[in-house]
């Protein structure tokens, strides 16, 4: 069973304004509707992935109506012929904070090789999947002809033998796009990679037992870890589990819903930054400060933002232990209805949202990217929202798409 698939990738055809087409991941700026309002005004009536996604800031509105509009827009874009297909992969060069270049490879992966539970699989989650977060995503996907995921997978490639050589020879590749991302998202370039067999062979070599033992001391059977979009990946998996029930073995082998479109990044990429995801506690935030003081211990310091100024509480030195301890307390008090919580990218945005004495911002520690694979293998999944790849503005933008229905399947 191959981990890497060969699904055709959809891109807007020539003449489409890419700066209006590409928008940031739907799970960003969830407490800042003004961001999405400004983006919508900029996009206007132009073809845009904004019409194909469900920004989570609107989850409290009419879900059914918005889902129907999304599915209709997807089909309309297909009917209008705005997409062109490529048979290869897409090499991406993203200019992020500090002018650094973050490299990625857009391709599809076989969902049969992924499991979000804590089991042996070639593709593994890095955080716990909260099943309650899947229904809305499943509803969008149920009747969708295409997908535009913001899934980022991480490959443990210290020798930089997969993505980096492609980038070094990018002048020999066909450039697919080159434009500024809206809303201060930086700049991005995309190149078509047609030597897919060679690339797949390099990925497969990572599963060689000798290579696994060299890296991890055991044959762990792991090739890729989910760096971002854990719940999107889980949604794709669950959707495929439903679809395949009505298919023959032959139909299952190549059905488009079996493969998820992702972007693969090297953990050792110089432009890949792990950023903390902070918490804003409200409707009980003031009391939660005392909960943290009472329950956290250690030689580390956790910073809290209040309307009266910043304070610190003791916490474990290791970031993974602190993240787990804080999130465990949050989940406990959420279940008891004693607090409300929002997850925020960027300390500056966190500070803007702490406006009343009953709100407190928790500035979470940075999780070291070099520890990720080892943590997943030896400890298990991280708690949800443990880290983010890049700052809020530098999160993945939707550009590429892929069919998840055969053209003969009716909506």
For residue range 181-205, what is the model confidence (pLDDT) as tens digits? 999 999 999 999 999 999 999 999 9
CA-CA distance, 297 to 325, in Å (whole number)? 10
Proportion of the chain above pLDDT 90, given as a percent:
78
Confidence of residue 263 (pLDDT cuts 50, 70, 90): very high
Range of the domain at 103: 9-273+391-403
198 plus 336 within the same structural domain: no
Evaluate whether residue 378 is within a structural domain.
no
Instruction: Check whether residue 186 and residue 316 sit in a common domain.
Output: no
| Domain-embedded: residue 373 | no
Q: Which residues lie closer than 8 Å to 214 by C-beta, 6 or more apart?
A: none
Q: Are residues 104 and 217 in the same domain?
A: yes
> Quick one: 108 and 53 in the same domain?
yes
Q: Give the tokens for residue 90.
A: 């897409």
- Answer yes or no: is 19 within a domain: yes
In this structure, the answer to whether residues 225 and 316 fall within a common structural domain is no
Q: What is the pLDDT of residues 273-321, one digit of tens each?
A: 888 999 999 888 889 999 999 999 999 999 999 999 999 999 999 888 8
Radius of gyration of the chain, Cα coordinates, nearest whole angstrom: 21
Among 107, 109, 271, which residue's Cα sits nearest to residue 188?
A: 271
Q: Are residues 98 and 148 in the same domain?
A: yes
Asked if residue 147 and residue 118 are part of one domain, the reply reads: yes
Q: How far apart are alpha carbons 77 and 102 in whole angstroms?
A: 30
Residue 375 placed within a domain: no
Q: Which residues pair with 38 in a beta bridge?
A: none
The reported pLDDT for the residue numbered 409 is 66
**Number of domains the chain is built from:** 2
pLDDT score of 134: 84
Quick: pLDDT tens for 338-393: 999 999 988 999 999 999 999 999 999 998 887 788 788 777 778 878 888 888 88
pLDDT at 221 exceeding the cut of 80: yes
The per-residue pLDDT for 327 is 94
Q: Are 188 and 205 part of one and the same domain?
A: yes
In this structure, is residue 313 part of a structural domain? yes
CB atoms inside a 10 Å sphere around CB 131: 11
Please check whether residues 209 and 350 belong to one and the same domain: no
CA distance 56 to 24: 12
Domain membership of residue 411 (yes or no) is no
203: in domain = yes
Whether 101 and 65 map to the same domain: the answer is: yes
Asked, for residue 167, whether it belongs to a domain, the answer is: yes
State mean pLDDT over 7-21: 97
Residues 41 and 154 reside in one and the same domain: yes
* 3-state DSSP of the chain: CCCECCCCEEEECCCCCHHHHCEECCCCCCCCHHHHHHHHHHHCCCCCHHHHCCCHHHCCCCHHHHHHHHHHHHHHHHHCCCEEEECCEEEEEEECHHHCEEEEEEEEEEHHHEECCCCCCCEECCECCCHHHHHHHHHHHHCCCEECCCCEEEECCCCCCCHHHHHHCHHHCEEEEEEECCCCCCEEEEEEECCHHHHHHHHHHCCCHHHHHHHHCCCCCCCEEEEECHHHHHHHHHHHHHHHHHCCHHHHHHCHHHEEEEEEEECCCCCCCEECEEEEEECCHHHHHHHHHHHCCCCEEEEEEECCEEEEEEECCCHHHHHHHHHHHHHHHHHCCCCEEEEEECHHHHHHHCCCCCCEEEECCCCCHHHHHHHHHHCCCECCCCCEECCHHHCCEECCEEECCCCCCCC
User: pLDDT tens, 51-98?
Assistant: 999 999 998 878 899 999 999 999 999 999 999 999 999 999 999 988
Same domain, yes or no: 99 and 237: yes
């Amino acid at each position: 069973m191959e981990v890497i698939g060969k699904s055709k990738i959809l891109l807007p055809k020539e003449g489409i304004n890419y700066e209006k087409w590409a928008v940031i991941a739907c799970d960003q700026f969830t407490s800042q509707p003004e961001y999405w309002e400004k983006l919508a005004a900029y996009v206007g009536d132009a073809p845009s992935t904004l019409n194909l996604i469900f920004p989570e800031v609107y989850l409290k509105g009419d879900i059914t109506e918005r889902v129907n509009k999304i599915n209709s827009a997807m089909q309309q874009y297909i009917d209008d012929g705005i997409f062109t297909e490529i048979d290869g992969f897409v090499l991406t060069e993203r200019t992020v904070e500090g002018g650094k270049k973050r490299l990625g490879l857009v391709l599809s992966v076989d969902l049969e090789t992924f499991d979000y539970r804590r089991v042996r699989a070639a593709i593994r989650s890095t955080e716990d999947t909260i099943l309650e977060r899947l229904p809305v995503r499943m509803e969008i996907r149920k009747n969708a002809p295409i997908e535009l995921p913001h899934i980022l997978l991480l490959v443990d490639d210290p020798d930089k033998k997969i993505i980096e050589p492609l980038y070094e020879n990018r002048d020999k590749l066909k450039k697919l796009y080159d434009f500024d991302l809206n809303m201060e998202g930086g700049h991005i370039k995309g190149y078509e990679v047609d030597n897919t067999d060679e690339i797949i062979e390099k990925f497969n070599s990572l599963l060689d037992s000798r290579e696994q033992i060299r890296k991890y001391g055991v044959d762990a059977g792991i090739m890729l870890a989910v760096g971002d979009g854990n719940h999107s990946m889980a949604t794709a998996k669950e959707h495929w589990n439903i679809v395949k029930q009505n298919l023959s073995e032959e139909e299952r082998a190549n059905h488009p819903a079996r493969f998820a479109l992702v972007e693969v990044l090297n953990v050792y990429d110089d432009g890949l930054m792990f950023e903390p995801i902070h918490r804003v506690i409200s409707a009980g935030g003031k009391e939660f400060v005392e909960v943290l003081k009472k329950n956290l211990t250690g030689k580390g310091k956790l910073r809290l933002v209040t309307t009266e100024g910043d304070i610190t509480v003791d916490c474990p030195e290791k970031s993974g232990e602190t993240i787990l301890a804080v999130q465990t307390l949050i989940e406990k008090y959420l279940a008891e209805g004693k607090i409300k919580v929002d997850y925020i990218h960027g300390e500056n945005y966190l500070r803007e949202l702490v406006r009343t004495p009953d709100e407190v911002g928790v500035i979470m520690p940075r999780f070291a990217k070099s520890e990720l694979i080892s943590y997943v293998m030896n400890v298990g999944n991280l708690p949800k929202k443990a880290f983010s790849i890049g700052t809020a503005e530098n999160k993945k933008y939707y550009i590429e798409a892929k069919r998840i229905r055969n053209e003969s399947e009716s909506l």
